[in-house]
């Protein structure tokens, strides 16, 4: 439930492509507002969560940060189409004796954080163009590791601008931004949801 004004200020957004609505939870295949930069202009754009899977039915919703530059489907996006998925929290499920428990992770004292993502242009079965995004994941660190072995790659505020900039092609530098965060960078709190 991030107010539009906060997103506009935080990411210095110059354009909003659709009427903005904020949901408490988002799910794969939904339209989600993400931040991207094209020709030096930052925009808040609704993109579908999940790349079409070229090998079988379904969507690819995540890509591992460790292999993002070597997988053929993600390599072009990693070079030129990086985005930020703003969030107040993310969820993970923990296996327990009688099923699973849902946990919410958020940054104490901050209203939002930036998940690293990639976007790409596709065509649906009817030939209509659409854009979709995936969230980059990394090995879990800190508090998240107690619940799940992976987590979203979280960008620090100083990493947001270079992550979005199309002109930056330095694979090594970009991948360094995807290293699992350490407790001194962003500290998360977990609560049962």
Scanning the structure block, which residue is given the tokens 């988002």?
A: 26
Predicted local distance difference test score (pLDDT) of residue 151: 92
pLDDT digits (tens, 9 = 90+) for 72-116: 999 999 999 999 999 998 988 888 888 888 888 888 777 788 999
Q: Report the distance separating Cα 61 and Cα 178, nearest Å.
A: 17
Q: Is pLDDT larger for residue 73 or for residue 145?
A: 73
Predicted local distance difference test score (pLDDT) of residue 181: 57
pLDDT digits (tens, 9 = 90+) for 6-52: 899 999 999 887 666 666 788 899 999 999 998 889 999 999 999 99
Q: Is the dihedral of CA 1, 193, 50, 144 positive or negative?
A: positive
Are 138 and 185 spatial neighbours (Cβ–Cβ below 8 Å)? no
Scanning the structure block, which residue is given the tokens 């957004």?
A: 13
Q: Is pLDDT larger for residue 169 or for residue 46?
A: 46
Q: Which domains does the chain have, with CATH numbers?
A: 4-192 (3.90.1680.10)
Predicted local distance difference test score (pLDDT) of residue 192: 75
Q: Is the dihedral of CA 63, 69, 70, 73 positive or negative?
A: positive
Question: What is the value of pTM for the model shown?
Answer: 0.91
pLDDT digits (tens, 9 = 90+) for 178-189: 976 544 455 667
């Amino acid at each position: 439930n991030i107010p539009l004004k906060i997103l506009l200020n935080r990411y210095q957004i110059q354009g909003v492509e659709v009427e903005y609505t904020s949901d408490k939870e988002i799910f794969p295949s939904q339209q989600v507002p993400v931040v991207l930069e094209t020709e030096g202009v930052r925009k808040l754009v609704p993109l579908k969560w999940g790349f079409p899977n070229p090998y079988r039915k379904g969507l690819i919703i995540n890509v591992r940060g460790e292999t993002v530059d070597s997988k053929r489907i993600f390599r072009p996006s990693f070079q030129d189409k990086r985005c930020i998925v703003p969030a107040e929290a993310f969820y993970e499920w923990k296996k327990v004796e009688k099923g699973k428990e849902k946990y919410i992770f958020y940054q104490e004292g901050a209203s939002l954080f930036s998940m690293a993502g990639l976007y790409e242009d596709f065509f649906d079965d009817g030939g209509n163009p659409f854009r979709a995004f995936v969230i980059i994941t990394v090995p879990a660190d800190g508090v998240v590791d107690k619940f799940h072995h992976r987590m979203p790659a979280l960008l620090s505020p100083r990493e947001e601008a270079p992550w979005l900039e199309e002109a930056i092609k330095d694979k090594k530098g970009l991948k360094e931004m995807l290293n699992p965060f350490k407790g001194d960078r962003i500290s998360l709190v977990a609560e049962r949801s």
